Amino acid sequence: MTDTSRHIPPTVYPSGLTLEELAALFPEEPLYRAKQIFKWISKGIESFDSMTNIPQPLRERLSERFDGHPISSNIEKQLVDEDGSLKLQIRLRDGAAVECVLLEDIEGRKTACLSSQVGCPMGCAFCKTGTLGFLRNLGADEILEQFHLLRRLRGFISNVVFMGMGEPLLNLENVRRAIALLSNHEGIGMSTRKITISTSGIVPGILDLAAHGPIVRLAVSLTSANPELRTHLMPVNKTWPLETLKSALLEYQRVTRDRITLEVVLIDTMNTSEHDAIALAEWIAPLKVQVNLIAWNPIEGMAFKTPSTAQVKQFAEILDHNGIVTIPRMNRGRGVMGACGQLGDTLKAQE
């Protein structure tokens, strides 16, 4: 029998371990012990001593294996917006930092917006995170620790979106593992229908998701159907231009039969005209999509301007007239720099 525990890096904390991997750490223990431990870890416990149905000697071994703490990340700063949004700055065990956000809608649904990388390599011109540079990918444990820390403060979380710092499809292995752990019925048990991956348009990652899953909600930051403007705002368009991206989305839709969300950040005088809206509608056909219109959120040091409510409304009306489901999004979290594109305002550029 292979000792799979030898293949678990010592730096991986319990939140990133599967039930099978936890069992392999203590092969002499009955399987039900691993299930008990897995359930406790899935609750985001603060101490191994909280595992009241686990024998003390096993708790001590767990504590020794993981430096005394089930979670390796720490909340360094928490900010609460007047709309109730919560932003956390989290210090990771190697000293790097990320931010995550908890958003609550008017019906009380709570959504955790999780980061997948320290910084971001994509360099989107309108996004604060893109100015930080890129340090490294987050492990599945570090991704899930954000979820646990948000849940400690706000209770039950119904949805997860990978829309925080970083490009999730450039860290697909760890994001995929995090989703598997989130959706495991022995633990958190979140439906994959409640999980969204947002990408700037990483075509190989989209095709990988289509071929190998998991089948989650897919959102794509598009911003413009004008190739030159999209390249200016989103350098990813140089590598995977609009038509290549569209082909990948058609394949994803063929496999999953799911509607895709297109995120359009509207920037005054740049992509808010009638011509821009018509071009977007023409590009979308024959995709089945929902378009989320996001008025650009102010970021210190950037010269862009937020469009008026009238501009957003006119843009939405044009898309609606073309039969495209369109939702102007509320900019929750803006007051604490936790809205779309604002994450990273309290962090220094990555070295």
User: Catalytic residue among 145, 282, 340, 351, which?
Assistant: 340
Q: Is 340 annotated as catalytic? A: yes
Can you tell me the distance from the alpha carbon of 54 to that of 51, in angstroms, rounded to the nearest whole number?
A: 6
Q: Is 60 annotated as catalytic? A: no
Can you tell me the distance from the alpha carbon of 235 to that of 37, in angstroms, rounded to the nearest whole number?
A: 44
HSE of 151 in the Cβ direction (CA atoms, 13 Å)? 19
Q: Is 291 strand, coil or helix?
A: strand
User: Catalytic residue among 29, 64, 99, 186, which?
Assistant: 99
| Upstream peptide bond of 227 is cis (omega within 30 degrees of 0) | no
Can you tell me the distance from the alpha carbon of 79 to that of 166, in angstroms, rounded to the nearest whole number?
A: 20
HSE of 333 in the Cβ direction (CA atoms, 13 Å)? 29
Can you tell me the distance from the alpha carbon of 236 to that of 242, in angstroms, rounded to the nearest whole number?
A: 10
Helical segments of the chain, H only: 19-25, 31-42, 56-65, 140-154, 172-183, 203-212, 227-233, 236-239, 242-256, 274-284, 309-321
Residues acting as catalytic residues: 99, 340
